[in-house]
Structure 1
Amino acid sequence: MNEEIKNELEDELREEYDLSQLTGQVRGKYVERYRQGTNLVLLDPDVAKEFPTHESVNQALRLLIRLAKSQVVK
């Protein structure tokens, strides 16, 4: 086997990590959130500066939705 490939396949976990001390894990802890769906959007830096929290982004988008709906010609 090529030495470079062999190195990539080796475990990268440091020896000082004792996995037996990891307790309290819950299988499927976030499965309901996953099932509900999650939309992640990467904001450009200039936009993120103006909307630093998810609440501010959601508030602005809701306003935009209301404005767009009010402009619909019936």
Structure 2
Amino acid sequence: MEAEYDFSQGKRGAIESTPPGKTRITIRLDDEVLAWFREQVHLAGGSSYQTLINEALRQHIQQSREPLEETLRRVVREELKRIEK
């Protein structure tokens, strides 16, 4: 270990820069919720649980914007496809 270190060229902040269109935040999730997402990623063969959480939130937003009539039509179509198989 050196007696002194030179930090004059050091940069403050995250080691990895955040890609465009993404924002780094801190969020508190229940342990059970986080464990479920991590387990899903593990069962799928690996990936990022954060990506899976992001996708779940996107789907929720899309469904929230969808009028009730469209939601019912979508669900009926999905169920009819399932029954036909």
TM-score by length of 2: 0.44
TM-score by length of 1: 0.49
Which structure has the higher relative contact order (CA within 8 Å, separation 6+)? 2
